[in-house]
A and B are shown apart, each in its own frame.
Chain A
Amino acid sequence: MELEQTLPILLGLAWITPLFSFVAILFFGPRMGTHGKNAASVATAAIVCSFVFSLSALLMWIGVHGMSGGSHGSHHVLLTDSQTVLVAGSAQWNLADHQASGSEDASEAVHPAHDADAAGVQPEDAHNLHHSPDSSDSHGAGAHVPISYSGDWYTLFKVGSLELTIGWYIDALTLLMFVVVSLIASCIHIYATGYMHDELHEVIDHEVHLVAGGHLHRPGRFSRFFQSLSLFCFSMFGIVIAGNLAMIFIFWELVGICSWFLIGFYYERKTASNAANKAFILNRVGDFGMLIGLMALWGALGTFRFADSVTMSLDDGKPVVAKGLFNLVRPAENDHQLIVPDGMVKASASGEIAGIMIEHATRPRDGESELKSRISQWRSDGLGSWLLIVAGLGIFCGCVGKSAQVPLHVWLPDAMEGPTPVSALVHSATMVAAGVYLVGRLYPILAPEVLLVIAYIGMITLVIAATIAMVATDIKRVLAYSTISQLGYMMLALGVGGWVAGLFHLITHAFFKSLLFLCSGSVIHACHTNDMRRMGGLAKVMPWTAGAMLIGCLAIIGAGIPFVIGFSGYYSKDAILAQSLSFVQNNPSHQILFLAAAAGASLTAFYMFRLWYMTFAGEPRDHHVAEHAHESPLIMVAPLVVLSFFAVVAGWSFSGEGGLTGLLEQARPAGTSEGASHGLLQVSLMIPAEHESHQGAVHRSATLVAFTTAALGLLAATSLYLWKFVSVELLSRMFGPLVIFLSKSWYFDELYSFLFMKPVLLVSSLASGTDRHAIDRFVDGIAWCARRLAVFDDWIDRFVVDGVVNATAHATWNIGLKMRDFQTGKVRQYVMFIVIGTIALFVLASMLWNSTIAG
């Protein structure tokens, strides 16, 4: 079976399996075994299935395309859905006949042959793909085009040019994300089965103090936890596989709501419910920007689709190519270099266009041709570039919220209120990864100015978070700020042009950060506290956890023997630093980006080993805690071992260019590997191509810098917390205000409280006052009037209407009683009555006769 047919099936299965698990647990969860115990098995089985599907898909991919960045001829495969519209509900793979030689038209439409000398500046790039429809194996000049498959399963609806579909866009990045997410999620599921066993019976929540005194007793929510986990995985897979922006947005929000469920899992705790709300609301702030970005894209370009789509024309049966976002912004005609799309130019130059159309009102054809000739001129004037920047910035806003970048990072430390497995899942592979993933996925349409903003945001984030992590005492908060800091690294890497570096770090970080979180969970499980000041010396009682955590720490600081071998973080962090160095060499005015990254590496080493020393080394500080500490059960340790393995080896390459980076290179956006990108507005801004950072000099210096800074940080932490050359308390006193400033998280919460919450609360209290005193009074007054009227009406009803009716009835009754006396039943009396009546009639008639007629 062809790869382009198999992959959507496999990944679709991997994607949908957690949804089945979710639905099953949703409806039958509490009935699965005692207290829903088997829900864990269902969810775990589902995610393991996903992993198996994903892994087999990845292996098939490697079998076809290899692991290195350059393999044999690749094709941009287009799967169309021309039938799907008609036969909705069943996924149909309607292959465009792209591989046959007879389909040159279609291929040409997508990737037209270009001048050989247009892109002749490709040096030793063996893996750089040249694509031309005629000779797929010629390694001559030509732009790199990533291998990808796209298509639609199901069309939700189609109105005009707006088409919302459930589709796929599969390249090496998608596959890698699938494997990583499902692998880590599997580990976390297994781990959580052990970690959440408290929820199997009635739970006494010691952190909730009831008004009546005592603690909250509540039934366990074991199945509910796994139900949310399954939905979470499903949503994340949805983002990863999505073939268009609308679908991404749907699953983006689904991830948000899942995080709300999970962070607020202990919703009886005020802090937990607040943290859930905070995470959700801050994400909404970011998503507002994202909506603006989506509107800019849609309004100007009219499509949400990433890749081109080919549909069979109804008229002549020839394939019609609808350009996707990537091809619009980086058209093949332009060597896949970034230009402002025609749609955005037109949208900006609407005034001029109207003028031209009026001028040529009689002959529209001439107007259109003149329009075409003018577009390139307008483009060089810079028209429309702001629209592209707005779109990029808007979408990045969403990523800022999801990936907890400054200034929307404050939700992530609070999200530690959720159960630790959730923290591991949220902070490694799923939610925060989604933001970085989206930047990586939409990298082709991000203008250099936007990338610069991303780089700066990432830089600020990594420094701020790292400094806070240095003084935090809550073990999970240290890890949370570490996560923010590492996410900053990724954003920085993406911003300075290191597409592979950023996503590489995303993947390696997913492994060691989930490892670190699970380890911390294991510690918390043993100590029943989050406070590192009460730990210490745990290495003796929890050797496995301590070892795993040490591996995680070494991985995150990028430990390794320079130029020989290292932990996974060593490779990814080196790549980031190298790309930053390459960037600042080209843009000297942005020197700080590299300096901050290097300083960040040092800080990372310091706070990570501070954490490890405080937790595991030395003597126990709190004997009560130490006595109760114990190694976690096998079901929790086993995932640690698995993740440790990957934290070590994830960065390794096999046979030269193989390995993760090689796979990622296969997915590199078209046009980003060769030559530099220049800013649209600020021409001096230059994003260097990533391969330049692989060159000897740059890479060597970056590696040395990374090793030196990490070693410095490690040395500082060791001397302070292990050897204790200087008392930590003394240092804290010396830098008192700074420590307080850092431990207060740079007063971000207070700042937001002052800037946003207070005014909002003020306005709402004003509104509520108006509501209560003006509107409510008015309404109450009307109600009072109505009530009085009703009382009066009631009185009338009761005494007048009812009185008349009752009086009539009473009178009738009495008359009846009186009349009854005449009904004696005696015939003789009846006769008498007749006679009396006769006489009376006669008298009456005679009187009338005399008075009226006769008289």
Chain B
Amino acid sequence: MNFFNILAEPVGVSHYLLVGAVLFTAGVVCMVIKRNALGVLMGIELVLNGANINFIAFGSPVLRGESTVSIGLDGQAIALFVILLAAAEAAVALAITLNFYNNHATVDVDRAEDLKG
């Protein structure tokens, strides 16, 4: 099956996966690029969302093909947990960031070099 046929086909799991891939890649690049700690945090959110899209796609009854075995409700449950954990993670990360800001008076992750070997 050709790669470009994807655009002509009805919406399936693969399309969702493509979107998740783009979001994931964007998140990773965001983590790599941004010097602002909050930017890195946003990159993490993007990555988590990219992954979440995959879970939803695999668990979706709408997108399930005849020969496709869906993971059913598990996908949605996992996605829900991921959202919750992301919120928690965001809270902690933000606390760390603020702490870092308090101690170093900056949010530039390049200044945080204490782990340099």
Q: How far is the CA of A821 from the CA of B117 in the complex (A)?
A: 7
Q: What 0/1 readout, one digit per residue, does chain A (485-524) give for beta carbons within 8 Å of chain B?
A: 0000000000000000000000000000000000000000
Out of B32, B35, B109, which one reaches A835, CB within 8 Å? B32
Q: Which of B109, B112, B115, B117 has a CB less than 8 Å from the CB of A819?
A: B117
- Contact between B116 and A824 (Cβ–Cβ < 8 Å)? yes
- Is B28's CB within 8 Å of the partner chain A? yes
Contact of A828 with B33 at beta-carbon distance under 8 Å, contacts A819-B117, A820-B117, A835-B28 already known: yes
The yes or no answer to B114 lying at the interface (CB within 8 A) is yes
Which B residue sits closest to A828, measured CB to CB?
A: B32
Contacts of B113 in A (CB 8 A): 824-826
Interchain CB contact under 8 A, A825 and B32: no
The complex places the Cα of A831 from the Cα of B35 at a distance, in Å, of 12
Proximity bits, A803-843, B CB within 8 Å = 1, else 0: 00000000000000001111111111001100100000000
- Docked-complex contact A825 and B35, CB < 8 angstroms: no
The answer to whether B40 has its CB under 8 Å from any CB of chain A is yes
Residues A827 and B117 in contact in the complex (CB < 8 Å), given A832-B32, A835-B28: no
Contacts of A820 in B (CB 8 A): 117
CB atoms of B28 and A831 under 8 A apart: yes
* Bound: A823/B117 CA distance, A: 5
The residue from A822, A823, A826, A832 contacting B109, defined by CB atoms under 8 A apart: A826
A residues in contact with B9, CB < 8 Å: none
How many residues does chain A have at the interface if contact means C-beta atoms less than 8 Å apart? 13
A residues 769-824 near B (Cβ < 8 Å) are: 819-824
Residues in chain A near residue B116, CB distance under 8 A: 823-826
Contact B112 A828, beta carbon cutoff 8 Å: no
By the criterion CB–CB under 8 Å, are B117 and A822 in contact? yes
**How far does the alpha carbon of A831 sit from the alpha carbon of B112 in the complex, in Å?**
14
A825–B33 CB distance below 8 A: no
- Once the chains are docked, how many angstroms separate the CA of A831 from the CA of B32? 6
Report if B46 contacts A (CB, 8 A): no
- Flag whether B53 is at the interface (Cβ < 8 A): no
CA distance A835 to B40 in the complex (A): 15
Number of B residues whose C-beta is below 8 Å from A?
15
**Chain B CB within 10 A, most for which of A822, A826, A832:** A826
Q: Is B79 an interface position by the 8 A CB rule? A: no
One digit per residue, 1 when the CB lies within 8 angstroms of any chain A CB and 0 when it does not, for chain B 79-117 equals 000000000000000000000000000000110111111
Of the candidates B35, B114, B115, B117, the one whose C-beta lies within 8 Å of that of A828 is B35
Contacts of A826 in B (CB 8 A): 109-110, 113, 116
Q: Given the complex, which residues of A lie within 8 Å of B112, measured CB to CB? A: 825, 827
B23 at interface, CB cutoff 8 A = no
**A825 and B114: CB pair below 8 A?**
yes
Q: Is the CB of A825 within 8 A of B31?
A: no
| Docked-complex contact B31 and A831, CB < 8 angstroms | yes
B115's partner among A821, A823, A831, A832 (CB-CB below 8 A) is A823
Which of chain A's residues has its CB closest to B114's CB?
A825
A820 to B34, CA, bound (A): 24
- Contact A828-B28, Cβ < 8 Å, known A820-B117, A823-B116: no
Closest A residue to B35 by CB, please name it. Answer: A828
Name the residue of chain A whose CB is nearest to the CB of B113: A825
Kindly provide the distance from the CB of A525 to the nearest chain B CB, expressed in whole angstroms.
Answer: 95
A749 and B9 CA atoms in complex are apart in Å by 136
A823 contacts across to B, CB distance below 8 A: 115-117
A822–B115 alpha-carbon span in the complex (Å): 11
B110 contact set on A, CB distance < 8 A = 826, 828
Which residues in B have their C-beta under 8 angstroms from that of A819?
Answer: 117
Report A-chain residues with C-beta under 8 Å of the C-beta of B114.
825
Q: Inside 8 A of A832's CB, which chain B residues have their CB?
A: 32
Which residues from 39 to 56 on chain B have a C-beta closer than 8 Å to any C-beta of chain A? 40
A828 cross-chain contacts in B, Cβ below 8 A: 31-35, 40, 109-110
Q: Which residues of A are found within 8 Å of B33, using beta-carbon distances?
A: 828
A827–B40 alpha-carbon span in the complex (Å): 9
Chain A residues with CB under 8 Å of B32's CB are: 828, 831-832, 835
**B31 contacts across to A, CB distance below 8 A:** 828, 831
**A596-637 interface code vs B (CB 8 A; 1 in, 0 out):** 000000000000000000000000000000000000000000
Shortest A226–chain B CB gap in Å is 84
Closest to B29 in A: A835
List 19 additional A-B contacts (Cβ < 8 Å) besides A828-B31, A828-B110, A832-B32.
A820-B117, A822-B117, A823-B115, A823-B117, A824-B113, A824-B116, A824-B117, A825-B114, A825-B116, A825-B117, A826-B109, A826-B110, A826-B113, A826-B116, A827-B40, A828-B32, A828-B33, A828-B35, A828-B109
Q: 10 tightest CB-CB pairs across the interface, nearest first?
A: A823-B117, A825-B116, A825-B113, A825-B115, A820-B117, A831-B31, A827-B109, A831-B32, A832-B32, A828-B32
30 residue pairs A–B, Cβ–Cβ below 8 Å:
A819-B117, A820-B117, A823-B115, A823-B116, A824-B113, A824-B116, A824-B117, A825-B112, A825-B113, A825-B115, A825-B116, A825-B117, A826-B109, A826-B110, A827-B40, A827-B109, A827-B112, A828-B31, A828-B32, A828-B33, A828-B34, A828-B35, A828-B40, A828-B109, A828-B110, A831-B31, A831-B32, A831-B40, A832-B32, A835-B28
A residues bordering B, Cβ < 8 Å?
Answer: 819-828, 831-832, 835
Which residues of B come within 8 Å of A, CB atoms? 28, 31-35, 40, 109-110, 112-117
